[in-house]
Amino acid sequence: MADNGETHLSFTGNSYIEHRVSVHHRKVGFLKLVELLKGSDLSFANLECAIQDGEDWPAFGSGMGWAGTYMGAPPSMIEELKFMGIKAVYAANNHVADFGELGILTTINYLKRGRMPYAGIGASLTEASQPTYLETENARVALIAAADWGPRQMMDLPFPWPAGYMPADELPPYKSRPGVNVLRYDAVAHVDRDAFEQLKRISQELEWGRGKVVRFQGAARTEPLIGSTLRGWEKDTDTEFFFMGRKFVLGEEFRMSTFAYQEDLDRTYRHVTEARRHADVVIVALHDQAHGVGVHDYINTFAHGCIDAGADIYINHGGVQRGIEFYKGKAIIYGQPPLYLQNDEVTKLPTSMKLRMGLGIDSTAGELLEERERSRERANRAGGQRQAFSGIGSAVHTVVFGENAELKEIRIRPTEEYIIHGRRPRLSVPRLAEPGSEKFNQVIERARERSKPFGTTIEIRDGIGVVLPK
């Protein structure tokens, strides 16, 4: 912790700890990482799971998909995060609802009992969306967390609408619904004239326009991405046409774009503005599952909108590094890779998932994880899957504020996975990469490459990547 009036805030990404890591406290590189996180005024991680101890049944689909790991970490994970120096968590993500609404409430209960501050989930929409406030010696910090939901990767089909994910505020006699502060987005397909006319012809021949009229008038359910009203979504024009719920736009070339839903943007911006009234530093953290190297349109809109509403730091976590931008003198970290994930070391998985993967009911969790990996390898060989995450390494981003809460710099400290032994299951811990090492240089060069489009430069100072605001 700084003694010169500065405030140091360190950010990490996904974490899931099923097996204790504190037993490795003598490993030098791991210890240096722990010292860094403990030495910051506040260090953050993404709670990429629910916390539960067998209380809750699995939901419909894990991580909003059929092949995702059901991630229910034991309550000991909270103590392990504390050991590593994590002082607060962003809890909004695609796995916190793996065990439904009860799993979210159970997670909240364990976080409160473990005295671990959190943001992004709640017993209602308001609770999930509102900031949590954290006190440091020199600054009060507000944290707002959200998770995106929409089509991923190539933007073709969205994952199933997750049961127990979307919260709601209700009035008596009904109770509010628990869930996640969600930023919903959708994809727009841009096509040429021939394709545009063919879509219209298919719809006309199959008489799909009738159902579109019914939904447009609010007499039938539309897609769950839409906000508080069911009316007025599927509106066709000369250059826009809705086909099977997807918006197609007439253009000169084939491409995809994305947009966030205004209802979710407005709700978050409102809470950011409120946090600005009470805190010296306001943070917005989005768990991003769209993946890929470039910054998606809906993320760009959300990041800049949060800064406009009063945020000092916007950070994406859950994917890969996409660079650092300074916008109106504030920090945007477009990609925070994971801190430590043991999602391939899960020991309990539901029978229904085993059956979906073509395994018998007496198969083990290890066998299921191995079969899933083989499925991914087959998809990669067939050219149908793109690598969502990078094996280069991760980093801790430390944002430094001066005594008047003005942004001074961002420090990048690359990390790597340290393999203690290579037997299966592989035993490893995260550690700081040695300055000048291959892994250190790879992470810094990747950050430089992806920050360059934003006009951001990264220099090395005393073995640390340093980014100065423009």
Mean pLDDT by 10 residues, the chain (470 residues): 86 94 86 96 97 87 79 96 98 93 96 98 97 97 95 74 82 94 92 97 95 81 59 86 92 93 94 98 92 84 98 92 94 93 86 88 90 84 62 89 95 88 70 94 94 95 93
Q: What is the pLDDT of residue 186?
A: 87
Cis, bond preceding 160 (omega within 30 deg of 0): no
Q: What is the pLDDT of residue 225?
A: 55
Q: What is the pLDDT of residue 231?
A: 66
Q: Show the 3-state SS of the chain.
A: CCCCCCEEEEEEEEEECCCCCHHHCCCHHHHHHHHHHHHCCEEEEEECCEECCCCCCCCCCHHHCCCCCCCEECCHHHHHHHHCCCCEEECCCCCCCCCHHHHHHHHHHHHHHCCCCEECEECCHHHHHCCEEEECCCCEEEEEEEEEECECCCCCCECCCCCCCCCECCCCCCCCECEECEEEEEEEEEECHHHHHHHHHHHHHCCCHHHHHHHHCCCCCCCCCCCCCCCCCCCCCCCEEEECCEEEEECCCCEEEEEECHHHHHHHHHHHHHHHHHCCEEEEEEECCCCCCCCCHHHHHHHHHHHHHCCCEEEEECCCCCCEEEECCEEEEEEECCCEECCCCCCCCCHHHHHHCCCCCCCCHHHHHHHHHHHHHHHHHCCCCCCCCCCCCEEEEEEEECCCCCEEEEEEEEEEEEEEECCCCCEEEEEECCCCCHHHHHHHHHHHHHHHHHCCCCEEECCEEEECCC
Backbone angle region of 218, left / alpha / beta, with phi > 0 → left and psi within -120 to 50 → alpha: left
How many Cα atoms occupy the beta-carbon half-sphere of 74 within 13 Å?
Answer: 11
Cα distance between residue 228 and residue 216, in whole Å: 14
Q: What is the pLDDT of residue 272?
A: 98
Cα distance between residue 181 and residue 409, in whole Å: 29
Q: What is the pLDDT of residue 95?
A: 93
Backbone angle region of 244, left / alpha / beta, with phi > 0 → left and psi within -120 to 50 → alpha: left
Residue 207, token pair as written in the block: 């008489």
Q: How far is CA 202 from CA 26, 57, 237, 243, in A?
A: 66, 43, 17, 9
State residue 376 phi and psi, 5-degree precision. -65, -40
Q: What is the pLDDT of residue 290?
A: 72
Q: What is the pLDDT of residue 212?
A: 87
Q: What is the pLDDT of residue 1?
A: 64
Q: What is the pLDDT of residue 294?
A: 77
Do 274 and 303 touch, CB atoms closer than 8 A? no
Domains and CATH numbers, the chain: 7-152+271-467 (3.60.21.10), 193-250 (no CATH)
